């Protein structure tokens, strides 16, 4: 496919000169794979199927849903001749990490304004990686405090682009450019349907954090008259994640496009156009749920290990849990279902190793996140041989999973129960 311009501009040519865009993705279109082991396990009918959209490998360094949005957001930022970017998230934000990586690639400054989220191994890793990729970290406990800090920072740094959480609009404010990345992604799957890579799916499952990814797919599917219905799985709290935020995101993006190309059909998105799936979030953003973890472990064992993708507990694990409940229902065995993999699967452990886990390099306020709680066997034991251990700095937080310990070995292990207690899984 022609990556000189995105598919969106090939379909609506007037957008070519009126919508900013830069190429960032290096592996487009992303493959669609059939998850046959999972289908078997769930007794899917031969006319139905479960597929995965491998957005996790859309970029060599950091795949996932972010860079699809960033092609349009950073396009705008460069057009406006900004020198840096300010953005927000929780202390484990993947969005912030992707932003740091892309800013470094484009020689821009990156300042991340981070609020508290439940402490996990993922958070400990991420904070070190933001720093590794050159971002400056600003921390406050609440989103209100962090927003005020960021606004003040922006006031004295007018040459910085202000990107809202997840690169989406928030309460109808902010630019819809990120959402365009997922309208473009809908065109990509339409192409794959035309090329018979897979049948037109009845359903797509995708996590809904700030809603931009789901919103773009919903708008794209309606624009293209696909019969596909998007199931947006709630993984964050309102106002970031909600039915309303999806509707606002989609409609703002569609309006933005139509203003620039009048040949685009005049459609609007409302509640009837998609399904907003609740009950998988847990009590808060970033909480690990039992259902999410079970879904991750099952899919990793059946498919992920062999294919090289991984799911995580904040977003994609919860969306997968919702998908598994859906295909567990006899009414859905004949449907074609697409799981949109929004999480990076490129190896970040090697960069983490280069940090030597030296958290004291980070701003002092963040040291508490390393000193209060341990998630890893080698942290707990202050292990002198850690560098030789396969679990050292591994993305998984359960050394017995990395080392594939038997139940007997686990029960004999002096830290197993202590570590297991540190990882609290919530029943939803």
Q: How far is the CB of 274 from ligand PLP (least distance, A)?
A: 13
**Three-state secondary-structure class, residue 255:** helix
Task: Please identify, using beta-carbon distances, which residue of 116 and 416 lies nearer to ligand PLP.
Answer: 116
Question: 221 Cβ partners below 8 Å, 6+ apart?
Answer: 186, 204, 228, 229, 230
Q: In the range 23-82, which residues lie near ligand PLP by CB under 6 A?
A: 64-65
Stretch that binds ligand PLP, among 101-109, 211-219, 352-360, 393-401 (CB under 6 A): 211-219
Phi, psi torsion values for 232, nearest 5 degrees: -95, 115
Task: Please identify, using beta-carbon distances, which residue of 316 and 379 lies nearer to ligand PLP.
Answer: 316
Compute how many residues bind ligand PLP; rule: CB under 6 A.
18
315: nearest Cα among 294, 292, 299? 292
How far is Cα 163 from Cα 371, in angstroms, rounded to an integer? 31
Binding ligand PLP (rule: CB under 6 A), the pick from 48, 49, 207, 317 is: 207
Residue labelled with tokens 């694990």? 317
With vertex at residue 150, the alpha carbon angle to CA 146 and CA 152, rounded to the nearest 5 degrees, is 120
Q: How far is the CB of 164 from ligand PLP (least distance, A)?
A: 10
Task: Please identify, using beta-carbon distances, which residue of 126 and 379 lies nearer to ligand PLP.
Answer: 126
Q: How far is the CB of 321 from ligand PLP (least distance, A)?
A: 14
Stretch that binds ligand PLP, among 14-22, 202-210, 221-229, 366-374 (CB under 6 A): 202-210
398: nearest Cα among 306, 282, 293, 299? 293
Q: What is the DSSP letter of 303?
A: I
Binding ligand PLP (rule: CB under 6 A), the pick from 166, 201, 220, 282 is: 166
Q: Which residues pair with 51 in a beta bridge?
A: 34, 338
Q: How far is the CB of 402 from ligand PLP (least distance, A)?
A: 21
Residue labelled with tokens 């991750």? 296
Stretch that binds ligand PLP, among 40-48, 206-214, 254-262, 281-289 (CB under 6 A): 206-214
Binding ligand PLP (rule: CB under 6 A), the pick from 128, 208, 217, 233 is: 208
Q: Any contact of residue 184 with ligand PLP (CB under 6 A)?
A: no
Neighbour count for residue 246 (Cβ, 10 Å): 30
Strand-by-strand arrangement of the 160-163 sheet = 136-140, 109-115, 84-90, 160-163
Stretch that binds ligand PLP, among 209-217, 218-226, 329-337, 345-353 (CB under 6 A): 209-217
How far is Cα 87 from Cα 361, in angstroms, rounded to an integer? 21
Task: Please identify, using beta-carbon distances, which residue of 250 and 379 lies nearer to ligand PLP.
Answer: 250
Stretch that binds ligand PLP, among 14-22, 115-123, 137-145, 210-218 (CB under 6 A): 210-218
Stretch 312-351: interaction string toward ligand PLP, x if CB under 6 A: ---xx-------------------------xx--------
> Is 185 in contact with 177 (CB distance < 8 Å)?
no
Binding ligand PLP (rule: CB under 6 A), the pick from 174, 211, 286, 317 is: 211
Q: How far is the CB of 95 from ligand PLP (least distance, A)?
A: 4
Binding ligand PLP (rule: CB under 6 A), the pick from 210, 336, 379, 394 is: 210
Question: 107 Cβ partners below 8 Å, 6+ apart?
Answer: none
The strand ranges marked E within 49-200 are 49-53, 84-90, 109-115, 136-140, 160-163
Question: By 3-state DSSP, what share of the chain in percent is helix, strand and coil, each rounded to 5?
Answer: 45, 15, 40
Using the CB atoms, write b or e for 55-71: b if 16+ within 10 Å.
bbbbbebbbbbbbbbbb
Stretch 105-144: interaction string toward ligand PLP, x if CB under 6 A: ----------------------------------------
Binding ligand PLP (rule: CB under 6 A), the pick from 58, 120, 124, 168 is: 168
Question: 203 Cβ partners below 8 Å, 6+ apart?
Answer: 228, 229, 230, 231, 326, 332, 335, 336, 337, 338
Q: In the range 213-232, which residues lie near ligand PLP by CB under 6 A?
A: 213-214
Q: How far is the CB of 17 from ligand PLP (least distance, A)?
A: 27
Q: How far is the CB of 421 from ligand PLP (least distance, A)?
A: 26
Chain contacts with ligand PLP (rule: CB under 6 A):
64-65, 94-95, 166, 168, 207-214, 315-316, 342-343
């Amino acid at each position: 496919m022609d990556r000189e311009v995105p598919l969106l501009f090939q379909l609506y040519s007037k957008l070519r000169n009126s919508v900013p865009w830069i190429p960032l993705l290096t592996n487009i279109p992303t493959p669609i794979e059939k998850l046959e082991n999972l289908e078997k396990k769930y007794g899917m009918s031969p006319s139905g199927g479960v597929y995965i959209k491998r957005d996790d490998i859309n970029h060599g360094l950091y795949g996932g849903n972010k860079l699809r949005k960033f092609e349009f957001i950073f396009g705008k930022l460069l057009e406006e001749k900004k020198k840096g970017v300010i953005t927000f998230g929780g202390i484990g934000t993947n969005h912030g990490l992707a932003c740091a990586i892309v800013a470094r690639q484009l020689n821009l400054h990156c300042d991340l304004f981070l609020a508290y989220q439940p402490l996990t191994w993922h958070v400990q890793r991420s904070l070190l990686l933001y720093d590794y990729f050159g971002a400056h970290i600003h921390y406050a406990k609440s989103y209100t405090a962090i927003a005020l800090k960021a606004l003040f920072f922006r006031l004295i740094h007018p040459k910085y682009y202000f990107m809202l959480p997840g690169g989406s609009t928030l309460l109808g404010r902010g630019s819809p450019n990120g959402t365009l990345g997922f309208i473009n992604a809908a065109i990509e799957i339409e192409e794959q349907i035309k090329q018979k890579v897979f049948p037109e799916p009845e359903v797509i499952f995708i996590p809904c954090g700030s809603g931009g990814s789901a919103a773009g797919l919903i708008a794209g599917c309606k624009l293209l008259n696909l019969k596909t219905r998007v199931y947006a799985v709630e993984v964050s709290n309102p106002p970031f994640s909600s039915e309303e935020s999806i509707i606002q995101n989609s409609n703002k993006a569609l309006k933005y496009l139509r203003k620039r190309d009048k040949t685009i059909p005049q459609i609007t998105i409302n509640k009837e156009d998609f399904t907003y799936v609740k009950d998988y979030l847990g009590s808060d953003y970033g909480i690990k749920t039992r259902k999410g973890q079970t879904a991750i472990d099952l899919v990793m064992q059946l498919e992920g290990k062999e294919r090289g993708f991984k799911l995580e507990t904040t977003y994609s694990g919860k969306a997968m849990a919702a998908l598994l409940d859906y295909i567990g229902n006899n009414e859905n065995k004949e449907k074609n279902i697409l799981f949109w993999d929004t999480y990076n699967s490129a190896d970040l452990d090697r960069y983490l190793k280069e940090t030597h886990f030296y958290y004291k390099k980070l701003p002092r306020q963040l040291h508490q996140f390393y000193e209060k709680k341990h998630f890893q066997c080698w942290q707990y034991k202050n292990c002198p041989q850690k560098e030789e251990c396969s679990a050292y700095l591994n993305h998984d937080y359960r050394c017995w999973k990395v080392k594939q310990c038997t139940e007997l070995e686990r029960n004999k292990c002096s830290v197993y129960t202590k570590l297991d207690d540190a990882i609290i899984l919530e029943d939803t």
